[in-house]
Amino acid sequence: MTSTSTPSGLARFNDLEERAALAALHEACASTEWARRLLAGRPYATAEDLYAASDAAMAELTTADLQEAMAGHPPIGRPKPGDPTSAREQRGMAGASDQLKAEMLELNLAYQEKFGHVFLICATGRTGEQMRDAVKERIGNSPEQEREIVRTELGKINRIRLARLVEEDA
């Protein structure tokens, strides 16, 4: 085990065999390059060090790397069946009216047609209405603006998922 000052979940992550660590990172983010960079930075002394490494890796991802990361995210309002992570993160849409769900589906399709990928937002803690308003606002962005917003949103999602990874009890 790593030093006693390292939180147990982080120590467990640091001590994982490379293949298992890569799988755990892939659960947080589908970008192979992002995961590779985080893996190369182990061991991490603190969770903040891990989050900083995540942010740095996210900043360096190419457009293709971002596309790979986005491919791991289902559309808002349609979490992956059997995936507790996407269901938990999209909880704000769970109680949405049928009208809001239909509107979100239509907006998702329009966004995807314009940008070539799913609408990506850190949905944790947001209501269905807030997510709808965000897609309506962002659909007017240029592809370059949207790519940087997506990079920021992915960074937020990755931090939340990494926190769950390193705070989990064995």
pLDDT in tens, 14-60: 999 999 999 999 999 999 999 999 999 999 999 999 999 999 999 99
Distance CA 9, CA 165 (A): 7
CA dihedral over 168, 6, 60, 24, signed as positive or negative: negative
Between 62 and 73, the higher pLDDT residue: 62
Question: What domains does the chain contain, in order, with CATH numbers?
Answer: 1-64+155-170 (no CATH), 73-139 (1.10.3330.10)
Give pLDDT, residue 168: 67
Give pLDDT, residue 4: 46
1 and 16 Cβ atoms separated by less than 8 Å: no
Q: What is the value of pTM for the model shown?
A: 0.88
76 and 123 Cβ atoms separated by less than 8 Å: yes
